[in-house]
Structure 1
Amino acid sequence: MYRIKQLESDVNLAGFSQWLRQQGVNHRITAEGNFQVLWLENPDYTEPVLEALNQFLSEPHMRDRINQQGSAPVFREGRWQPSPRHAPVVLSIIVIAVLLAWATGLGSSLLSASLMIVDPRLYDWSTLAERIAALSDTLMAGQVWRLFTPDFLHFSWPHIIFNSVMLWFLGSQVEWFDGRARIVALFVFTSLISNTLQYFSTGPLFGGLSGVVYGVLGYCWLSQQRLPRFQFPPALIVVAVVWMLIGFTPFTEWVGLGRMANEAHLGGFVAGLAMAGLWPPRRQRRV
Structure 2
Amino acid sequence: MRELHTFADEQVAHRFISILQSRQMPAHAEQEGASWIVWIENDDHRDKARELLTEFQANPDAEQFAEAEKTAKRILAEKLEAEKTRQKLRKDLRDRWRGVWWKCHPVATIMVAISVFVVAVSTELSPVKFTQRIIPVTCNLETSVIRNSLFIQETIKMVDEEGNDAAGFLNKSPTEVLKTWQIWRYVTPIFIHFNALHILFNMSWLRTLGNAIEFVRGTRRFLGLVLFIAVVSNVAQLIWSGPAFGGMSGVDFGLIGYVWMKGKTQPQHGLALPQEQVVMSMLWMLLCIGGAFGPIANAAHVGGFLAGMVIGARTAIWKKIARS
TM (norm. structure 2) is: 0.57
Partner of 1:277: 313
Equivalent residue for 1:117, pick from 140, 147, 152: 152
Corresponding residue of 2:106: 88
Q: In structure 2, what is the Cα distance between the partners aligned to 1:70 and 1:168?
A: 16
Unaligned 5+ segments in structure 2 are 1-84, 124-137, 157-167, 317-324
2:212 to 165, 173, 186: 173
- C-alpha distance 152-64 of structure 1, shift in aligned 2 (>3 A): closer
Q: Give 1:260 deviation, angstroms.
A: 1.1
Match for residue 253 of structure 2?
Answer: 214
Aligned residue in 1 for 2:140? 108
1:150 aligns with 2:189: yes
In the TM superposition, 1:45-60 aligns within 5 A as none
Would you say the 8 A contact 2:96–2:104 is kept in 1? no
Per-residue CA distance 1:82-132 (angstroms, 9 max, x = gap) = 85531011111111111011111122122332211113436433xxxxx22
What are structure 1's unaligned runs of at least 5 residues? 1-58, 75-81, 126-130, 253-257, 281-287
Deviation string 1:184-227 (CA, Å, 9 cap, x unpaired) is: 11111100010010011111111000000111110011011123
Change (3 A) 1:204 1:66: closer
Q: Residue 233 of structure 2 is aligned with which of 194, 198, 201?
A: 194
Q: CA deviation at 1:232?
A: 4.2
Q: 3-state DSSP class of the match of 1:251?
A: coil
> 2:266 and 2:285 mapped to 1: Cα distance?
26
**How many angstroms apart in 2 are the aligned matches of 1:200 and 1:226?**
31
- Contact 2:265–2:313 (CA under 8 A) maintained in structure 1: no
What is the letter of the counterpart of residue 148 of structure 2? A
Indicate the SS of the match to 2:175. Answer: helix
Structure 2 partner of 1:141: 180
Matched residue type, 2:266: L
After superposition, the Cα gap between the structure-2 partners of 1:62 and 1:265, relative to the gap in structure 1 and judged at 3 Å, is same
Is the contact between residue 153 and residue 243 of structure 2 (CA under 8 Å) also seen in structure 1? yes
Name the SS for the 2:308 alignment partner.
helix
Q: For the pair shown, which has the larger CA radius of gyration, 1 or 2?
A: 2
Partners in 2 of 1:66 and 1:271 — Cα distance?
A: 30
1:17 equivalent in structure 2: none
Partners of 1:69 and 1:275 in 2: CA distance: 28
Count of paired positions: 203
- Structure 2 counterpart of 1:97, from 115, 127, 133: 115
Q: TM-score, normalised by structure 1?
A: 0.63
Amino acid at match of 1:108: N
In 1, distance between residues paired with 2:89 and 2:175? 53
**Residue 264 (structure 2) aligns with:** 225
Secondary structure of the corresponding residue to residue 90 of structure 1:
helix
**CA–CA distance in 2 between the matches of 1:158 and 1:203?**
23
Question: What's the CA shift for 1:166?
Answer: 0.8
Identity of matched residues, %: 29
Deviation at 1:141, TM superposition (A): 1.2
Measured in 2, the distance between the counterparts of 1:120 and 1:71 equals: 44
- Structure number with greater CO (CA < 8 Å, separation at least 6) is 1
Match of 1:246 in 2: 287
